[in-house]
Amino acid sequence: MKTIGLIGGTSWHSTMAYYKMINEGVGTIIGTQGNPELIIYSINIEIMREQNREKINAKYLEVSQKLVAAGAEAIVICANTPHMVYNFVQPKIQIPILHIADATGREAKRLGLKKLALLGNRPTMTGSFIPDVLKEKYGIETLIPEAHCLSQAHTYVSEELTRGKFTDQARQFFKTQIELLKARGADGVILGCTELPLLLNAGDADIPTLPTTDLHAQMAIDFILDAPNRS
């Protein structure tokens, strides 16, 4: 089995989800007599809230280099938003960063989806690090909520979900956004916050949902076991 370095902490709730899913997924293949070797570095989430892009890039590069030195053969960033560092960090290290948008794009392609709603915090929804990969590599367009809804979505994610708070008000808000984006042509929805699958139930959307955490964890499992890409 290959060794993966996990960069977590943003939030620690998501890091726990990744760790659990990767171990369980590998265990279903190899049995419970063993488990994958994982190296975890948990970053303080405050660095993301400071919104200093240079500082964020430098921190993720520093941590990635430490994981490489510790023996990691690939890196998994255990959240959506920190993938903003990918273009800065990846050229500077010798092992692959498994991109969350690739995990999402492969599943969308498998399902035959062409236009995806993207839900998450403001940097994830308005940034280019997911839409660009989906467009350039998979020919998939993305839609985000209307401008006046972005702030509310961001508040729910950053002030509640990443702190382990899940309310009926937040659930109804995101259910409404899914319906509005579906009306604009979305044939699937990216749950682009690690905690969104913990908030929304299976029946909360009548279009396919793509939980990035689950898909990204499966990508990590496939890498660990040297399995073919699921596309």
Are the C-beta atoms of residues 31 and 1 closer than 8 Å to each other?
no
Give the global pTM: 0.90
Rounded Cα distance, 164 and 149, in Å: 22
The pLDDT score that the predictor gives to residue 159 is 86
pLDDT in tens, 74-121: 999 998 889 999 999 999 999 999 999 999 999 999 999 999 999 998
The mean pLDDT value for 2-10 works out to 94
String of DSSP letters for 21-60: HHHHHHHHHH-TT----EEEEE--THHHHTT-HHHHHHHH
Domains and CATH numbers, the chain: 4-100+214-224 (3.40.50.1860), 101-211 (3.40.50.1860)
Whole-angstrom distance, CA of residue 40 vs CA of residue 186: 36
∠ CA 102-106-111, rounded to 5°: 145
| Span 7-52, pLDDT tens digits | 998 888 889 989 999 999 999 999 988 899 999 999 998 888 788 8
115 burial level (CB within 10 Å; 0-12, 13-18, 19+): middle
CA distances from 107 to 155, 216, 217 (A): 28, 10, 13
